[in-house]
Amino acid sequence: MKRSLYIILVSGILLFLATFFSSCNYYNYLKNIKAMSEQAESEVQTITIGVFIPGIMSGSPIYEMLGRGVQAAAEKHNSDIGIEQAVVTVIEGGYNQAEWENKLTAMTASGSYSLIVSSNPSLPDIVSVISSKFPNQYFMLLDGEMTGNSHVYAFRYNQREQAYMSGYIAALETTAHGGPKRIGLVAAQEYPVMNNIILPGYLEGARAVDPLYTVDFRIVGNWYDAAKAAELASGMIRNGVRVIMCIAGGANEGVVNTASQQNAKVVWFDTNGYNIRPGTVIGSAVLYQDLAAYYQILRYLSGTLPFGKTETMGVNDGYVDFVENDPYYIDAVPEEIRKKQAEMIAKIRSGELFLP
């Protein structure tokens, strides 16, 4: 009897101790889990993406698209993983191009950005200098070309296609109206892509309508002076030009105003510009830079961006287009012209017209 009482007592104590320790352990276990998950959360590294605008965003659609695309990708990534991991900061470099290298160097030297994103064909030269001083910094350059640097990814558009489609509509409209076989191009400045791809592509498109076409090519000297651009457009119109393409950022406004006052027409470049001046803007050859920025940033965030490469995308990749379904285009441009323009675009899509 005494012995069984002893056994019960000892088992009770053992049971108590076992329960006590296991509950302590369980408590500790719970505590550990909580601490670990808190730590994991704080250890999810923030990815800071710096967007460097070489110029001013407002008035330059190509830069507005860049900002929108990067922001949308960061939001998509954060909502997918449920944490505010990707953060975007935009810095404007301003119109003084001589300051861009210093500004971008300071941005890089701050060490604050996992990735620096920018856009325009002059950035590769600047970035190659900065990259040699800060070899760990990663860059994404849109609307530019740079191959062979393991920390730089570049994405460019087939602007021969884009300019060809612009020149084609400009010549169709000019021919239909009669008058000299001359189309206009007001550009902010000369640079290799402008002189070697956009201007020749624009002329090539016009000459596909009629080989006698020439281009009246005039330079504003900056990306903001609308009064100067208006003056250049007036000079062209006096010279018998009926259709002017403008690639001058904020200065484009001067071309549109002059054209609409003097019954001339405008071809818009980079974004859909029909609603800027309905009836005056008769063509929009666009780039989907917002989509390019969006998809390339998502690739970066998933670790699959092919640094070291330049990728070039055109009409058949969905990154270059001519907007044909806008009601203002349909209202402003006679059906026979739209039909010819559509036939040319169909040839690019089918590969019959190849403009590499």
Tell the smallest beta-carbon distance from residue 32 to ligand RBF (Å).
54
CB atoms within 10 A of CB 232: 27
Interaction residues for ligand RBF, span 79-108 (CB under 6 A): 97
Q: Which stretch binds ligand RBF (CB under 6 A): 53-61, 131-139, 199-207, 273-281?
A: 53-61
Tell the smallest beta-carbon distance from residue 232 to ligand RBF (Å).
17
Residue showing the smallest CB distance to ligand RBF in the complex: 55
Tell the smallest beta-carbon distance from residue 249 to ligand RBF (Å).
3
DSSP codes of every residue in 144-163: S---S-TTEEEEEE-HHHHH
176, 186 Cβ separation under 8 angstroms? no
Tell the smallest beta-carbon distance from residue 60 to ligand RBF (Å).
3
314: left (phi over 0), alpha (psi -120 to 50) or beta: beta
Report the alpha-carbon distance of residue 41 to residue 244 in Å, rounded: 56
Q: Which of 118, 120, 174, 272 binds ligand RBF (CB under 6 A)?
A: 120
Residues 6+ away with beta carbon under 8 Å from 108:
116, 130, 133, 134, 137
Structure tokens at 242: 């009926």
Interaction residues for ligand RBF, span 138-197 (CB under 6 A): 143, 191, 193
Q: Which helix (H) or strand (E) holds 253?
A: helix 252-261
71 interacts with ligand RBF by CB under 6 A: no
Report the alpha-carbon distance of residue 250 to residue 1 in Å, rounded: 103
Is the Cβ of residue 50 or residue 93 nearer to ligand RBF in the bound state? 93
How distant is the alpha carbon of residue 334 from its chain centre? 32
Is the Cβ of residue 57 or residue 72 nearer to ligand RBF in the bound state? 57
Tell the smallest beta-carbon distance from residue 103 to ligand RBF (Å).
14
Q: Which of 62, 88, 220, 348 binds ligand RBF (CB under 6 A)?
A: 62
Tell the smallest beta-carbon distance from residue 315 to ligand RBF (Å).
15
DSSP letter, residue 100: H
Size of the site for ligand RBF (CB under 6 A): 16
Residues binding ligand RBF (CB under 6 A): 54-55, 60, 62, 97, 120-122, 143, 191, 193, 223, 247, 249, 269-270
